């Protein structure tokens, strides 16, 4: 997922690599592991929306709170899935961990490739929390 997240932000590939690719991989992984549910479609759509914004004005630099909101939005987008399958504990942990991790990662990395790839990896490695 790190590669897709980076590809969508690089300018060398369509933006949809990030916008659709990351939520699609999340949905497929959860579907394979936890079983398919229509709740996943709602979370898929919400994740597309959350990934598409850094919660800032266009042309301005992202601040620490923009990164935290970005992570929180991506985490909260899985609320329909959590409700549907009853995995509230893991969902809650992810809603605390992901904003902090994305904010810390984005604020400490100077290389755009490493920064964006890392954000995608953080999104991916927190998926198992949704099974708790």
Q: Is 39 exposed, middle or buried (0-12, 13-18, 19+ CB in 10 A)?
A: middle
Select from 19, 32, 20, 27 the least CA-distant residue to 43: 27
- The pLDDT of residue 74: 97
| pLDDT of 56 higher than 90 | no
Dihedral of CA atoms 15, 48, 33, 7 in degrees, nearest 10, equals 20
Mean pLDDT of 17-25: 95
Q: Measuring CA to CA, how many Å separate 24 from each of 29, 104, 112?
A: 9, 25, 23
Instruction: Identify the band that residue 35 occupies on the pLDDT scale cut at 50, 70 and 90.
Output: confident
Highest mean pLDDT: which range of 37-41, 51-55, 91-95, 110-114: 91-95
Instruction: Identify the band that residue 81 occupies on the pLDDT scale cut at 50, 70 and 90.
Output: very high
Select from 103, 128, 115, 97 the least CA-distant residue to 26: 128
Q: What percent of the chain has pLDDT over 70?
A: 100
Mean pLDDT of 4-26: 92
Among 19-23, 57-61, 63-67, 75-79, which stretch is predicted with the lowest mean pLDDT?
Answer: 57-61
């Amino acid at each position: 997922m790190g590669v897709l997240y980076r590809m969508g932000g690089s300018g060398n590939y369509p933006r949809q690599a990030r916008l659709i690719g990351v939520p699609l991989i999340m949905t497929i992984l959860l579907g394979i592991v936890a079983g398919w549910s229509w709740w996943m479609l709602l979370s898929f759509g919400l994740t597309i929306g959350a990934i598409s914004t850094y919660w800032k004005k266009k042309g301005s630099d992202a601040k620490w709170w923009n990164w935290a909101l970005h992570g929180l939005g991506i985490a909260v987008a899985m609320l329909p899935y959590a409700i549907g399958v009853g995995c509230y504990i893991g969902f809650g942990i992810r809603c605390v961990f992901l904003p902090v991790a994305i904010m810390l990662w984005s604020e400490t990395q100077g290389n755009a490739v490493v920064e964006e790839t890392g954000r995608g990896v953080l999104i991916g490695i927190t998926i198992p929390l949704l099974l708790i």
